[in-house]
Amino acid sequence: MAASELIEEDEVRIPVEANVTSLNAPAHTRPQRVANGNPTRHALTLSPPADDHDGTNRSERSGLCSLVLIQSLNRKLKRRCEYEKICAKEEHTDRLPNEWWKTGVAFLYALFNLVFTTVVITIVHERVPDKSVSPPLPDKFFDYVDRVPWAFTVTETNGLILVGLWLIQWLFLKHKAIVGRRCFFLIGTLYMYRCVTMYITTLPVPGKHMVCAPKLYNDSKGKIWRILRLISGGGLSLTSSHLMCGDFLYSGHTVMLTLSYLFIKEYSPRWMWWYHWFCWALSISGVICILVGHEHYSVDVVVAYFVTTRTFWWYHTMANTHELREAPNNYLSRVWWNPVFNFLEKNVQTTVPVVFLSPRALLSSCKERYHTIGIERDE
């Protein structure tokens, strides 16, 4: 009985198949669902134009034997799977959805971790052994290269330039929501790892030249002031916000230099090799100047480079290789941040292409967004 009804619904559906895709488009159903097909759902959504068919067909069908029913049902199902195609255009736009709210969540995560790092630096500062008690540790680089006082300024300038370039590049990207989400997540995670390593073991100051602010033993108010000052200055010595010591393992400056270079290279066109080389030179010179300025131990810089590059490549491979998501032994998913990754990248179905918007397109898309927000608010 049910089988014959199915066939009837099939019959009803065939003439109106052309309507399937257009009806589904505004409803934004997932392509997969439509392709597998559920006869009942389709029959419900479509207005059957051939109501008169049902009455006449029913009487004829009553005499069919079950074997033929099953055979024809089989064939029909097969045929249905062949023909229910989804518009290609619709599929494409769904593969890289913007989802700005997820970017917002990632931004909050990064912000939280940056603030948390500042708090941890303030705590660790209290525990740094005094220079006279614990002299700087022997370091191979320091043995070979003497300190140059202006080197650290070069590092910070390079860092600011790289971050500025990346910001401008990001603004012109078409899929800035997705790329921004990745950037915030990586920054947040790397700074969180940094909190852990800074806190558990405190290294002494790398050079006698370092001036550390006096310790505020129980003065909570003073500590909060320090935290705010550090955040407002972005943690840079240029802005004289960074007078605290103890945040050596591992180097945050190396993280920012490396990470902004990696992002710049990954999300810019391949033919701009001169741009890549320029940024690489900025990055490398910045990192070397950290060591030349005796501001960090060599191991801080090496570990920071290692953790940054590995995490960046890990995340992006997980995001780009879609076979991994269904693979049974996907070891990359054993990291602790795999659930967060799934949340951020679940709906990104393909590698993010490097596509830029022209300034005019950028302005018009901004205007459009504000316009639609305005309309929504009015409604």
Partner 1 sequence: MKKVEAWSAEDVSDWLNKEGMPEYIKVLHQTDGPALLSLTKADFTVPPLSRMSPDGGEQLLERIEILQMETHIEDHKNGHANGHIGGIPNGTSKLQRNGTLGRKDFETKIRIPIPTVEPPRSSFPTEWGKTGIAFIYAIICFVTTTVVISVVHERVPPKEHTPPLPDKFFDLFDRREWAFSICEINGMLLVGLWLIQWILLKHRSIIGRRFFFIVGTLYLYRCITMYITTLPVPGMHFKCSPKLLGNWEAQMRRIMKMIAGGGLSITGSHSMCGDYLYSGHTVMLTLTFLFIKEYSPRRFWYYHWFCLALSAFGIFCILLAHDHYTVDVVVAYFITTRLFWWYHTMANQQSLKETSQSNLLSRVWWYRLFQYFEENVNGTVPRNYQLPLSARAFHWNHAVKYSRLDIQ
How many chain residues bind partner 1 (CB under 8 A)?
59
Site for partner 1 in 78-107 (CB under 8 A): 79, 83
CA-wise closest residue to 253 among 229, 205, 286, 282:
286
- Determine the residue type at 210: M
CA-wise closest residue to 279 among 290, 292, 263:
263
Rule CB under 8 A: choose which of 30, 95, 135, 342 binds partner 1.
135
Rule CB under 8 A: choose which of 239, 317, 338, 342 binds partner 1.
317
53 tagged catalytic: no
Asked whether 296 and 248 are in contact (CB, 8 A), the reply is: yes
Q: Which is nearer to partner 1, 269 or 374 (CB)?
A: 269
Site string for partner 1, 164-203 (x = CB under 8 A): --------------------------------xx-xxxxx
Q: Which stretch binds partner 1 (CB under 8 A): 106-114, 179-187, 215-223, 301-309?
A: 301-309
As a whole number of angstroms, the distance between CA 261 and CA 134 comes to 35
Catalytic residue among 296, 316, 371, 378: 296
Q: Which is nearer to partner 1, 122 or 241 (CB)?
A: 122
Provide the Cα torsion 265, 266, 271, 273; round to 10°: 20
- Residue 297 binds partner 1, judged by CB under 8 A: yes
Catalytic residue among 42, 242, 253, 294: 253
Q: How far is the CB of 212 from partner 1 (least distance, A)?
A: 15
Residues in the chain, overall count: 379
Helix (H, G, I), strand (E, B) or coil at 314: helix
As a whole number of angstroms, the distance between CA 275 and CA 265 comes to 9
As a whole number of angstroms, the distance between CA 319 and CA 352 comes to 9
As a whole number of angstroms, the distance between CA 80 and CA 39 comes to 10
Question: What φ, ψ does residue 37 adopt, rounded to 5°?
Answer: 75, 125
Q: Which is nearer to partner 1, 91 or 130 (CB)?
A: 130
Give the footprint of partner 1 on this chain (CB under 8 A): 11, 14-15, 17, 60, 64, 68, 71-72, 75, 79, 83, 127-129, 133-135, 137-141, 196-197, 199-204, 249, 297-300, 302-303, 306-307, 309-310, 312-314, 316-317, 320-321, 323-324, 327, 329-332, 334-335, 351
- Residues involved in catalysis: 253, 296, 300
